[in-house]
Structure 1
Amino acid sequence: MARIVVVGSINMDLVTVTARFPGPGETLMGERFLTVPGGKGANQAVAAARLGARVSLVGALGRDAFGDQLYTGLQREGIDLTHVRRLDDTESGTASITVASGENQIVVVPAANARVTAAQVEKSAAAFDGADAVLLQLEIPLEAVEAAVDVAARAGVPVILNPAPAQRLPAALLKRVRYLTPNQHELAGVLGENADGDFRALMACAPCPVVLTRGSEGAWYRDGGEPVHQRGFKVDVVDTTGAGDTFNGAMAVFLDRGIDEAVRLACAAAALSVSRLGAQGGMPSLRETEALASALK
């Protein structure tokens, strides 16, 4: 059983399903509204836990109704919440998501997530000891991400950094990351390059190994040599929300099987996740993931 530490955001997703996206100033009648747990940190933690890992989450929630619901839901998934702070003077993070024709648009309000600090991460150092991987994203302050890389380095634990939402990152930080897991636009943002160029050339510019997600095409990965392609798994797409988080959670869980197998199983898990509605609601089990990967090997 893999041991994974996730340092990242916890949100309540406010999901509206509609036939199409509204234009500026336009009001549409929606088809369905849901409140579902989300946040890239929490999503990746749940994805890893569903796949059988023991997961510790480092993050922050407000002491509000959404915070209570999110905390209880994460407990139900068996995730260790020892290092999740509850804050009295701010609300929990939210993401307003519109889903139309299998695509989504998202507006995130960080709230408590903006209060995850380097000091909090340092205080959680015991959770890193003996872990198999540390998962990071960019929905919390960069100082907390950098602190997590420091703590992971001291503990000898490989770091997987999912650079979303994308921002320019210093080369010194990237060089300490075991795998960077962007899509093409995120990789361009991280490197300060043009996103319209050849993605293979972009991958070669990164100062660390890159696993580049390409939606239904699957993923490309480069670890010192030429980029290798892992094809995607064909499914009927319902909702792409959380697909990248599922991919990252799975990659962390299967990293000890080698990069080839980790990326293959991560693609299978991500494919299963888009066949269902909701970020965490679509995340598959270990049995489902291995069955799909074996059927299409």
Structure 2
Amino acid sequence: MTHHPDILCIGSVLWDIIGRAPVHMRHGSDVPGRITRLPGGVALNIAMTLARFGVRPALLSAVGRDPEGDELIGACQSLGMITDHIYRSEDLPTDRYMAVEGANGLIAAIADAHSLEAADEKILRPMENGTLGDRLAPYQGPIALDGNLTQRLLEKIAHSPLFENADLRVAPASPGKAERLAPFMAHERATLYVNLEEAGLLCQRTFDTSAQAAAGLLERGARRALVTDGGQSASDASPKGILTQTPPNVLVTRVTGAGDTFMAAHIASEISGASRDDALSRALQAAANYVSGGDAK
């Protein structure tokens, strides 16, 4: 059966292995806690939140034809995502992400997205073979894109006619991959979602507030940028001006995936017709719900 998505989520789809402890941790800490394995990856985290808001997302990624991959595909389908267009490799294993979190936030993380990087542009085949679009009739609609793709593929997407009619919503997978988003800095159809550190890396300077960072991204050529700063503030900057709000004050119980939740809730709100002010407010509330351990919606 053919499914028609409301949005495409392109990037990492993997297993998150997260160790959490309720105490402050430092280098070398060995403490009791809980270890969980959940469907994750930036593109998948975004898609999961979109689905909770009633948006029908399709995933474009690489997942192995191994038991872990079959289980992951089944989990995605049960969560309301379209998996028909995922590239399934016989040779590449399903990717994984491992993180350790304490009461003082993220301690360390390792992202093993080598299969996604090896699959490269094969994950985009549905956008050029007529399934989701082609060069004569490119895909029209929103696309959530994450920085786990290779620098070469991100540059190709930024200049590809296959994306010329898309509303691109772009986020780095981590501060270490923020500079991969450079091809989208002056892109006329791209909206950037970054945190304060990532904004600084893209602009090659230090910012004190989300509003300063958002303004700095516009100065560097960004069409629109949303910048978060943990529990301090979040700003939406465009030629229409800079809008800044303060997140709800909540007890933080988890942090991995918070930025993806913010981005997805913001996109879902704008798809539903919300104003800039309301969309930012709803995104901050969704992220607050998430980090406090509740449902993002």
TM-score higher than 0.5: yes
Mark the runs of 5 or more structure 1 residues left unpaired by the alignment. 277-281, 286-297
Letter of the 2:132 partner, please give it. Answer: A
Identity %: 22
Report how far residue 42 of structure 1 moved: 0.8
Aligned residue number for residue 37 of structure 1: 39
Aligned residue number for residue 70 of structure 2: 68
Aligned residue number for residue 235 of structure 1: 250
Q: Is the alpha carbon distance of 1:284 and 1:110 closer, same or farther for their aligned partners in structure 2, counting shifts above 3 Å?
A: same
Number of equivalences: 277
Cα deviation 1:110-148 (Å, max 9, x = unaligned): 132213422431433543666541101111223333444
Aligned to 1:5, which of 5, 8, 23? 8
Cα deviation 1:245-288 (Å, max 9, x = unaligned): 01111122122424332222111111111111xxxxx5523xxx
Report how far residue 40 of structure 1 moved: 0.6
Preserved CA contact (<8 Å) 2:154 2:181: no
Say if 2:141 is the partner of 1:138.
no
Q: Secondary structure at the match of 1:227?
A: strand
Letter of the 1:183 partner, please give it. Answer: N
Letter of the 2:217 partner, please give it. Answer: M
Q: Secondary structure at the match of 1:203?
A: helix
Aligned residue number for residue 280 of structure 2: 263
Preserved CA contact (<8 Å) 1:121 1:148: no
Aligned residue number for residue 83 of structure 2: 81
Greater Cα offset, 138-147 or 126-135? 126-135
RMSD: 2.5
Q: Secondary structure at the match of 1:16?
A: strand
Distance (Å, rounded) in 1 between the aligned partners of 2:186 and 2:146: 16
Preserved CA contact (<8 Å) 2:62 2:88: yes
Mark the runs of 5 or more structure 2 residues left unpaired by the alignment. none
Aligned residue number for residue 229 of structure 2: 214
Q: Is the alpha carbon distance of 1:170 and 1:87 closer, same or farther for their aligned partners in structure 2, counting shifts above 3 Å?
A: closer
Report how far residue 235 of structure 1 moved: 2.2
Q: Is the alpha carbon distance of 1:116 and 1:255 closer, same or farther for their aligned partners in structure 2, counting shifts above 3 Å?
A: farther
Report how far residue 32 of structure 1 moved: 1.5
Q: Secondary structure at the match of 2:198?
A: helix
Letter of the 2:35 partner, please give it. Answer: F
Q: TM-score, normalised by structure 2?
A: 0.83
Distance (Å, rounded) in 2 between the aligned partners of 1:148 and 1:56: 18
Aligned residue number for residue 25 of structure 2: 21
Aligned residue number for residue 99 of structure 2: 97
Report how far residue 34 of structure 1 moved: 1.2
Distance (Å, rounded) in 1 between the aligned partners of 2:121 and 2:73: 22
Greater Cα offset, 190-199 or 109-118? 190-199
Q: Secondary structure at the match of 1:216?
A: coil
Distance (Å, rounded) in 2 between the aligned partners of 1:132 and 1:9: 20
Preserved CA contact (<8 Å) 1:17 1:100: yes
Cα deviation 1:207-233 (Å, max 9, x = unaligned): 121111122134111111442112212
Letter of the 2:239 partner, please give it. Answer: G
Distance (Å, rounded) in 1 between the aligned partners of 2:181 and 2:34: 42
Q: Secondary structure at the match of 2:267?
A: helix
Distance (Å, rounded) in 1 between the aligned partners of 2:34 and 2:183: 45
Letter of the 1:20 partner, please give it. Answer: H
Say if 2:129 is the partner of 1:127.
no
Q: Secondary structure at the match of 2:60?
A: strand
Say if 2:189 is the partner of 1:185.
no
Report how far residue 7 of structure 1 moved: 0.3
Q: Secondary structure at the match of 1:117?
A: helix
